[in-house]
Structure 1
């Protein structure tokens, strides 16, 4: 079970899924090689041995990066597991490096510095369903 966050280009004034204009088609994040370089620049210890599925890990959490094989890259999906608010540092670092926004797929809002409600809600749900050791 993961907390899913999508890195995607959205209009500057959008702060939630409900505010995305009808028919909006986001611009691609960029060329695949440029995306991989930006990811490595933002998080130097990222494992991109499989460039379609990167991985970032710490002692308490892990992030799988679903980059895919398309070129250009339209978006990057993050599958986040574990615990610890420090996981938001690479999430926001990746969004900044890719010049896009991080959208919480469960709550529908943007992830911004200091905003941990979606991450905490996911952990509470996961612990109720799976038990706290998950």
Structure 2
């Protein structure tokens, strides 16, 4: 079970999903080699030995990066597992390096520094469903 965050190109002035114009079609994140380079620059410890499915591990969390095999890359889905708010730091670093938005798929909101409610709600739900 993972908490999913979608990295997607959004208009620059958008601060919430409600502000996305109707009919907006996101531009690609970039050419595949540029996206992989940006991810590696943002989080040098990322394992991209399978460039379609990157992996990143922290002390109490892991992130799978579903980059896919398309070129250009339209979006990246982050599958975040574990605990600790420090899991949000690399997710936001990757989003910043790609100049894109990070959408909390559980809450339907934009992820930003200090906005941890979706991550905490996911952990509470996961722990309730799976047990201690």
TM-score bucket (shorter structure): over 0.9
The residue that corresponds to 1:29 in the other structure is 29
- How far off is 1:73 after superposition? 0.3
The residue that corresponds to 2:128 in the other structure is 128
The residue that corresponds to 1:81 in the other structure is 81
Rounded Cα–Cα distance in structure 1 between residues aligned with 2:21 and 2:128: 35
Q: Secondary structure at the match of 2:112?
A: coil
**In angstroms, what is the RMSD of aligned CA positions?**
1.0
Rounded Cα–Cα distance in structure 1 between residues aligned with 2:27 and 2:16: 17
For 1:1-134, list aligned pairs within 5 A: 1-132=1-132
Rounded Cα–Cα distance in structure 1 between residues aligned with 2:16 and 2:128: 26
Rounded Cα–Cα distance in structure 1 between residues aligned with 2:48 and 2:106: 26
Stretches of structure 1 lacking an aligned partner (at least 5 in a row): none
User: 1:15·1:109 contact (CA, 8 Å) conserved in 2?
Assistant: no
Stretches of structure 2 lacking an aligned partner (at least 5 in a row): none
Q: Give structure 1 regions of 4+ aligned residues with deviation exceeding 6 angstroms.
A: none
**Corresponding residue pairs, total:** 132
